[in-house]
Amino acid sequence: MAQPLIHHRTPQFSAVLDSVRQNLKPLFGTGQEIILLASSGTGAMEAVVANLLDPADEAIYVNGGKFGERWGKLIAAHGAVPHEVKVEWGRSVYPTDIEHALAINPATRAVFVQASETSTGALHPIDEIGKITHRRGVLLVVDGITSVGVFEQKMDEWGVDAFVTGSQKALMVPPGLAMVTLSEQAWGRVGKCRGRRYYFDLERELKAQRDEHTTAYTPAVGLVLGLNKALELISAETLPRVFARQQMMAEATRASARALGLQLFADNPAPGLTAMITPQGIDSGKVVRCMRDELGVWVQGGQDHMKGQLIRIGHMGYLSPFDMLTAVSALEIALAKAGHVFESGTGVAAVQTRISRGM
Ligand SMILES: *Cc1c(COP(=O)(O)O)cnc(C)c1O
């Protein structure tokens, strides 16, 4: 990425584009075409809404956190009708709740959900939801922004019709590049959908990327080059080992939370990040700022009504299990400063114990 850029209308760039689009397929678990978009992840979310929903179309969305809420806003912004399935923050959606929502809204065209709701650290059961939507002939749209590249995704097998992700989470690339892939059924819908789009016209992008080996508009060349390298790293490590490494980091981090007397926020926690609840009377914002500004370890707090109450530690992408020793050590120092009482080193020891058990 630090090298001089190559021009995008060249055979050199086309070769990189083809390779990136091909090598992304196993991360989604699909044989379908992958389309790259120059935008953050939300751009790919909007692209899917604009290409699958007509104004006044009805859509169900799972709102179990900030990103689920975003689906609802995007659906409404495009003039379609959002039906919310509200899920308490930290919980996973019950497939029966989707079944119920479909029964009372029989005209629903698509169901929108996150595979991993990053604001709460909760996983949603995409495979089970896929069985329900498939049976009813309703499209299933999944935000995979903290699941693609983190754990095994089986888009084709699960019956996912539209799957999106972004460059800056598990894919180890700076922000600004988004990816989307559609099933046969979803492509059929795109052809008939009159939803408003210009830049995010997926048929036009498919034609450019699949048939002409270029993009419809100027791509984020530097990021595509970076992603090509990241995919080479993943391929060298092998995907199963990438997943096992991230799973180990998740288990080590969860074990450290238990050792320090912090409760996990999610019932069914995602492998990409761990959200922990801070003890009564301790402001998580203070802990997060101390970790960041005094110790140089960057983690996140809670949002909205969970502001001040959550610490979210990401463990996806360019990280090794030993980085969790650093993260948890900083967490301990910051928690102790904030007044939490525990035996120093117990969180770090829990990480070390998990690492020594091996993958
Ligand atoms: C980060 C994230 C997004 C937002 O993507 P942007 O790149 O900020 O637009 C959407 N969904 C999930 C689940 C995320 O984690």
DSSP strand pairing (108-114 vs 58-63): parallel
The tens digit of pLDDT for each residue in 165-201 reads 999 999 999 999 999 999 999 999 999 998 899 999 9
pLDDT in tens, 248-262: 999 999 999 999 999
CB half-sphere exposure, 16, CA atoms < 13 A: 23
d(CA 159, CA 180): 15
Pocket of ligand 1 (CB under 6 A): 40-42, 67, 114, 118, 143, 145-146, 166, 175
pLDDT score of 203 more than 90: yes
Q: Calculate what percentage of the chain has a pLDDT beyond 70.
A: 100
CA 262 to chain centre: 24
**Do residues 23 and 231 touch, judged by C-beta distance below 8 A?**
yes
Distance 20 CA to ligand 1 centre (A): 21
- Residues 101-132 have pLDDT tens digits of 999 999 999 999 999 999 999 999 999 999 99
Interval 136-164 mean pLDDT: 98
Model pTM? 0.98
Q: What is the rounded average pLDDT for all residues in the chain? A: 98
pLDDT at 195: 81
Q: Give the distance (Å) from ligand 1 centre to CA of residue 67.
A: 7
User: Which residue's CA is minimally distant from atom 5 of ligand 1?
Assistant: 41
Domain 11-236 has CATH 3.40.640.10: yes
* Residue 173 CA from chain centroid, whole number: 14
Q: Indicate if the pLDDT at residue 295 is higher than 90.
A: yes
Q: What is the mean pLDDT of residues 7-18?
A: 98
Residue 169 alpha carbon, nearest atom of ligand 1: 1
Residue of the nearest CA to atom 14 in ligand 1? 145
Which pLDDT score, from 0 to 100, does residue 199 have? 98
In the chain, what is the straight-line distance between the N-terminal and C-terminal CA atoms, in Å? 32
**Which of 40, 118, 145, 150 has most ligand 1 atoms within 8 Å of CB, for mutation?**
145
Best residue among 45, 118, 150, 168 to mutate for probing ligand 1's pocket (most ligand atoms within 8 Å of CB) is 118
- The minimum-distance atom of ligand 1 relative to the CA of 178 is 7
Sorted by where each begins, the domain ranges of the chain are 11-236, 238-356
Locate the ligand 1 atom nearest the alpha carbon of residue 115 and give its number: 13
Tens digits of residue pLDDT in 212-240: 999 999 999 999 999 999 999 999 999 99
Q: What is the pLDDT of residues 65-101, one digit of tens each?
A: 999 999 999 999 999 999 999 999 999 999 999 999 9
Q: Which residues contact 264 (CB under 8 A, 6 or more apart)?
A: 121, 254, 257, 258, 274, 275, 276, 277
CA distance 348 to 173: 28
Answer yes or no: same fold for 11-236 and 238-356: no
Atom of ligand 1 nearest to the CA of 166: 7
Q: What architecture does CATH give domain 238-356?
A: Alpha-Beta Complex (3.90)
Contact between residue 66 and residue 119 where contact means Cβ atoms under 8 Å apart: yes
Please tell me the distance between residue 41's alpha carbon and the centre of ligand 1 in angstroms: 5
